[in-house]
């Protein structure tokens, strides 16, 4: 029970820290419906501020619980569970990044626009293809880590139940 209280304190502290990273002016204005506008090439993205807060929470939880899981050597089931939760959040975030970068990939090639006498437009590859492949690699790493930590957590829980019996 003591460990559970400690993890609740860690989680609340991380939520508070991530909110202050997101909103450093310390105002709790609920009418703040701001967005972030990103213009990449000819595509205009409008991202809600709540999505940015979700990104900050996911990354902060993942970093902190990655460090805590390494320090505890996968022996604390509660820390393992919180790491699994933060890992799932990161998988969702990276999945979103994969979707966005897939939309922005420009394949090399050429295009002839309707009047056939117009100049040929030559397209070069952009760096989004590289970012897409990096995000896929990160996603695979996160899924493998999720499976391994879940298996180790199940083994720890099984051992603790057999020693209590």
* DSSP symbols for 33-94: --EEEEEETTEEEEEEHHHHHHHHHHHHHHHHHHHHHHHHTT--HHHHHHHHHHHHHHHHHH
pLDDT band at 30 (very low <50, low <70, confident <90, very high): low
pLDDT band at 127 (very low <50, low <70, confident <90, very high): confident
Q: Rounded to an integer, what distance in angstroms lies between the CA atom of residue 153 and that of residue 78?
A: 9
User: If residue 15 lies in a helix (H) or strand (E), which one and from where to where?
Assistant: helix 2-22
Q: pTM (2 decimals)? A: 0.82
What tens digit of pLDDT does each residue of 36-90 get? Answer: 787 877 777 788 888 888 999 999 999 999 999 999 999 999 999 999 999 999 9
Q: What is the pLDDT of residue 45?
A: 79
Q: Rounded to an integer, what distance in angstroms lies between the CA atom of residue 64 and that of residue 66?
A: 5
Answer yes or no: are the C-beta atoms of 98 and 132 closer than 8 Å. yes
Per-residue pLDDT at 1 exceeds 70: yes
Instruction: Tell me the β-bridge partners of 35.
Output: 48
Contacts of 61 (CB under 8 A, 6+ apart): 11, 14, 18, 82, 85, 86, 89
Count of structural domains within the chain: 1
Pair type for strands 120-123 and 35-40:
unpaired
Average pLDDT over residues 24-46: 72
- Residue 145 is part of which domain span? 2-164
Q: Which of 15-19, 36-40, 113-117 has the lowest mean pLDDT?
A: 113-117
């Amino acid at each position: 029970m003591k460990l559970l209280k400690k993890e609740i304190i860690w989680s609340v502290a991380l939520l508070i820290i991530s909110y202050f990273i997101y909103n450093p002016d310390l105002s709790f204005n609920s009418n703040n419906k701001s967005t972030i506008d990103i213009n990449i090439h000819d595509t205009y993205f409008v991202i809600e501020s709540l999505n940015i807060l979700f990104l900050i929470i996911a990354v902060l939880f993942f970093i902190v619980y990655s460090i805590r899981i390494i320090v505890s050597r996968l022996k604390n089931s509660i820390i393992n569970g919180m790491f699994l939760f933060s890992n799932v959040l990161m998988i969702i975030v990276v999945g979103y990044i994969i979707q966005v970068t897939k939309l922005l990939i420009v394949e090399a090639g050429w295009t002839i626009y309707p009047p056939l006498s117009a100049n040929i437009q030559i397209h070069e590859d952009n760096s989004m293809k590289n970012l897409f492949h990096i995000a896929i690699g990160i996603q695979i790493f996160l899924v493998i880590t999720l499976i391994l930590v879940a298996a180790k957590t199940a083994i720890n829980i099984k051992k603790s139940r057999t020693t209590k019996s």
